Amino acid sequence: MTARTASTTDRNTHRSLSRPAGQTRSGRLEPAQRAEIRELFEELAATTDARRRRQLRDRLVELNLPLVRHLARRFSHTAEPLDDVIQVGTLGLIKAVDRFDPERKLEFSTFAVPTVLGEIRRYFRDATWAVHVPRGARELYSSIGTARADLAQRLGREPTNADLAAQFDVTERDIQTALDAGAGYASSSLESMADSAGGVGRDASVGFDDLRLDQVESRADLRPALAQLTRRQREVIVQRFVYDRSQTQIAAELGVSQMQVSRLLARSTRELRALLGVPHGQHTSPSAA
């Protein structure tokens, strides 16, 4: 035997050992496995013992797992992990085992394939969207991609929403709604948003610290206290601490002297401190109001 022939034989042996027993490269079962499956279903249909039925059911699922793996690999181009797709397909396989009627004389795989694929497609339709989207919009969006390619080839141009609406016998608004819904299939992580903001951090791209939040409690205390001052006192305080006007500007606007404004401010702030229970000399700014 030449070195090349020995190498080829070793590779073929490795491939056959790496596949589960009874599984061909295409995912099909060997004739002996298919015969065993038929026998198991016949026994399952004739058995009433609950424990034995569970054993038969488990064995049927085990024997047909290669079929699930083969079908799941059709979706390997998607972003979903293959193990998750296989798990969903296995749920479809279990449903197929429970629903299969051996008296119809069909191969189980003929019955199981649509059930498994249906379960996987339902998973992609319902569970992989980043946000909740109405089912009708999801299904229409899933159909638009293929229809758009066919229409582009037929029309010789990119189809418009009106072309797509005519194709599906819906309104242009339905088409636009489905396209907008498609934007909700996937979402960006907060980390990627931070990266797009120049690496300056998550808060810079999706929010910021509002430094005025600390003033909320102060406002809640100041407002009832201000309400107990005279109208002239409130006006002077607002002009000075909210609009940041000088005493001279306030005096000119009110038609009084700057000295009167100074005395009014001093008296008003003393009364506010007393109303708020602030010790004399501690700074309290009414600007939070």
CB 237 within 8 A of CB 268: yes
Q: Which residue has the tokens 């005096």?
A: 251
- Nearest residue to 229 via CA among 186, 283, 289: 289
**Are residues 180 and 218 part of one domain?**
no
> Any residues with CB less than 8 A from the CB of 255 and at least 6 apart, and which?
none
User: For residue 49, what pLDDT is reported?
Assistant: 92
Judge if 23 and 122 occupy the same domain: yes
Looking at the structure, tell me whether residues 78 and 110 fall in a common domain. yes
pLDDT at 10: 43
Name the residue with higher pLDDT: 1 or 159. Answer: 159
* pLDDT of 60 above 90: yes
CATH number at residue 84: 1.20.120.1810
- Is residue 206 scored above 70 in pLDDT? no
Give the whole-number percent of the chain exceeding pLDDT 90. Answer: 13
pLDDT given for residue 178 in this prediction: 80
Q: How far apart, in whole angstroms, are the C-alpha atoms of residue 182 and residue 158?
A: 19
CATH code: domain of residue 251: 1.10.10.10
Rounded CA-CA distance 234/227 in Å is 8
Residues 30 and 77 in one domain: yes
Residue with tokens 């299904």: 139
Quote the tokens at residue 11: 């590779």
Domain C-terminal end among 185, 204, 229: 185
Tell me if 208 is assigned to some domain.
no
Domain count, the chain: 3
Q: Round to whole Å and give the CA distance between 74 and 142.
A: 17
76 and 120 in a single domain? The answer is: yes
Domain annotation covers residue 169 = yes
196 occurs within a structural domain: no
In terms of residue numbers, what domain contains 178?
131-185
Average confidence (pLDDT) over 205-227 = 71
Same domain, 173 and 67: no
What are the pLDDT digits (tens) for 231-247? 888 888 888 888 888 88
Lowest mean pLDDT among 41-45, 65-69, 120-124: 120-124
204 in a structural domain:
no
Specify whether 9 is located in the same domain as 89: yes
Using CA atoms, how far apart are residues 289 and 281, in angstroms rounded to an integer?
Answer: 20
Identity of the amino acid at 138: R
Whether 22 and 121 map to the same domain: the answer is yes
Of 195, 181, 199, whose CA–CA distance to 141 is shortest? Answer: 181
State phi, psi for 23 to the nearest 5 degrees. -100, 125
What is the tens place of the pLDDT at every residue in 65-78?
999 999 988 888 77
96 domain-assigned: yes
Neighbouring CB atoms inside 10 A of 164's CB total 22
Query: What is this structure's pTM?
Result: 0.43
CATH code at 139? 1.10.10
- Indicate whether 200 belongs to any domain: no
Residue 207 lies in a domain: no
Q: Is residue 201 part of a domain?
A: no
Please indicate, yes or no, whether residues 21 and 111 belong to a single structural domain of this protein. yes
C-alpha–C-alpha distance, residues 59 and 44, integer Å: 11
What distance in Å separates the CA atoms of residue 6 and residue 287, rounded to the nearest whole number? 89
> Measuring CA to CA, which residue among 80, 158, 76 is closest to residue 123?
80
Query: Which residues is 56 bridged to in the sheet?
Result: none
